[in-house]
Structure 1
């Protein structure tokens, strides 16, 4: 596959992730050709992604594809693509709530949505799952303003707030129909409030839940347990064979240490997240509010209000979640994120394999 020699692209930080944002019309229509092009743009497969935009980590190897929506209830469509770092894989089986934070500003920057003078709200349809979100952000004078006083853990400095509200979804909050399941010999709660997530008491896996992400990644016995749980839970949640998928996420729960509701360590799926994804946190927050879930006796929920503070390795994330336990169903979910445009211009993808000259350096060793 060849594809264009250059592509218009914006690199943006969305929440605690970073990714390349494209208009759908600037990429090939054929998914296989599109994915091949994105692998070459991001520099995959390569552990350093040295020849592309990727940052050698799943959190910085992400792509948003945005287009005007034909749906009368949405302004734009957003397709999230996770580009693997060390494998030639592009995955579209999940949403990303952090990259979502940049979709509204990007849509205004590209002229897909006319901004208001003051603040602009963009209705977003997430094509990965069909779910919806509304992002509201400052646009003084009709221009996106990325500066502000909002601060989120895991990101240096401050920026303008992007308030993201998620309408109640039609998917079951409990995909298995149970508030607790025994999966691979471990009691868990399987929940989906925007992201299929398996909640697991950290102590049940022989860890505290306070370990640094790197230490957890190096625990081979833990990795084996998590793999068994994920594969079994995937089938139980109706996701089928998840051997090569990035869902469901696995979140270990431990009592809070810094005034929040719970401490978390989340795997995506084998790397331990240095923070937590927005939609993953939304699922955790909803799961904690379910009577009889595995979070009981671990989480310390606030006595009043909908806000749940989720502690993670680099700080916390606040989620407003209103759950009706009789359904159970979620009535409202909202979160404050920030986003920043890093550059806007043209990216030049690595040449396709078929376009490389014969006898050239294959990159296997420096010369």
Structure 2
């Protein structure tokens, strides 16, 4: 008997993240068994994830699980799993917008969606948050296309664009834009905004930590005192947002904003949460853009002249990301648009040790 299990998968880059994509029918339906399999598969519990598919970094230790939609108005289901690198644990609390940008292409390749001529719209139900995001995939002549001329900072080269429209971006985890009931409050002497957009975030001005918001990710990670201060604020923020004890959760995500240096709208440093993101999570960018629509929030107060619809350029450690914010004509809720790219990197099967 073969002592390894073979599970079909496709390794894909989505935005500035990458990881294996699976059909949900190829994984155990029991969440505990599924997570044990993902931990084993990714090599979690080792800093290099040397005995698995993970890349030893939170941006490359991610999994996407895709299947037929279980919600009206959506085409496919997408469950995101953050497989922790150092701890043998899986967190399915957050969404990942970067990985999401490859879901439509994966669904088309697997026959879950039929490609249309020109562009194919895929309405993705993010199971983590219950929200629907529309992905527009380039399919000229009814054929999926990965190559193109669109560049995104944090990824070398160019590829075909993927347009993401976050149609239900408010209240991803708590159901409320302002879970604590106020656009701004004080935690440990630091003014913050607790916003639940595409992901729950705790936003503060970098200057309140003696920073500019344009520091490198490595510089911020190296400051143990700063990281400890940020974690204390994050834990208190989680309690105030109704998320409970978040010591073992990746939510909420801390965000620092500052004055831009390269012609952008804001300088942004986003944390994952225990390390600074080398670029900027898509869901983080969406949440910052939504916060900008609140004049009394930390973000809104920095952009008092902003009018909507608005185009924002957010500077991050490896470049910038452009975000467009509009208001739904009927509900007046914010709708956020972001351009990403994706690429199919490898296809085959993940091999996992068979348990006796």
User: Quick one: which of 332, 335, 351 aligns to 1:332?
Assistant: 335
CA distance in 2, matches of 1:289, 1:202: 20
Report the equivalent of 2:316.
312
What does residue 345 of structure 2 align with? 342
Residue pair 1:285, 1:310 contacting (<8 A) in 2 also: no
- The 1-side partners of 2:162 and 2:125 are apart by 17
Q: Identify the residue that residue 209 of structure 2 maps to in structure 1.
A: 205
What is the rounded CA distance, in whole Å, between the counterparts of 1:139 and 1:251 in structure 2?
36
Deviation at 1:300, TM superposition (A): 7.9
Q: TM-score, normalised by structure 1?
A: 0.91
Tell me what 1:130 maps to: 130
SS at match of 1:121: strand
Q: Residue in 2 aligned with 1:78?
A: 78
Measure the CA separation in 2 of the matches of 1:184 and 1:5. 50
Q: Report the counterpart of residue 291 of structure 2 in structure 1.
A: 287
2:106 is the alignment partner of 1:93: no
| 1:278 maps onto 2:282 in alignment | yes
Q: Deviations over 1:48-68 (max 9, x none)?
A: 111111111000000000000
CA separation in 1, counterparts of 2:18 and 2:220? Answer: 23
- Contact 1:266/1:273 (CA < 8 Å) preserved in 2? yes
Deviation, structure 1 residue 3: 10
Between Structure 1 and Structure 2, how many residues are aligned? Answer: 349
Please tell me whether residue 254 in structure 1 is matched to residue 245 in structure 2. no
What CA distance in whole angstroms lies between the structure 1 residues aligned with 2:143 and 2:299? 43
Cα distance change, pair 39–189 in 1 and its aligned pair in 2 (3 A): same
Q: Is the 8 A contact 1:302 1:308 kept in 2?
A: no
- Aligned equivalents of 1:301, 1:166: Cα separation in 2: 24
Residue 361 of structure 1: aligned partner:
none
Q: 2:218 corresponds to which residue?
A: 214
Structure 1 residue 187: deviation in Å?
A: 0.6
- Deviations along 1:303-334, one digit per CA (max 9) or x if unpaired, are 6742111110001111111359xx9x633111
For the structure 1 residues 259 and 284, does the alpha-carbon distance in structure 2 shift closer, same or farther, using more than 3 Å as the test? same
Partner of 2:44: 44
Quote how far apart the aligned CAs of 1:297 are. Answer: 5.7
**Is residue 2:249 matched to residue 1:245?**
yes
Q: Which ranges in structure 2 are unaligned for 5 or more consecutive residues?
A: none
Tell me what 1:69 maps to. Answer: 69
How far is the alpha carbon of 1:299 from its aligned partner? 4.7
- 1:71: how far off? 2.3
The answer as to 2:144 corresponding to 1:174 is no
CA–CA separation in structure 2 for the residues paired with 1:189 and 1:331: 17
CA distance in 1: counterparts of 2:293 and 2:310, whole angstroms: 10
How far apart in 1 are the matches of 2:34 and 2:4? 10
Aligned-residue RMSD, C-alpha: 1.9
Residues 94-109 of structure 1: pairs in structure 2 closer than 5 A: 94-109=94-109
C-alpha separation in 1, matches of 2:181 and 2:70: 34
Q: Does 1:322 align with 2:326?
A: yes
Residues 262-311 of structure 1: per-residue CA shift (max 9 Å, x gap): 00111111111001111111111121232122235645865674211111
CA distance in 2, matches of 1:3, 1:21: 23
SS in 1 for 2:284: helix
Distance in 2 separating the partners of 1:93 and 1:3? 32
Q: Alpha carbons of 1:130 and 1:93: their partners in 2 closer, same or farther (altered >3 Å)? A: same
* Closer/same/farther in 2, CA of residues 315 and 330 from structure 1, 3 Å limit: farther
TM value normalised by structure 2: 0.93
Query: Separation in 1 of the partners of 2:88 and 2:137?
Result: 35
- Cα distance change of structure 1 residues 42 and 118 upon mapping to structure 2, 3 Å threshold: same
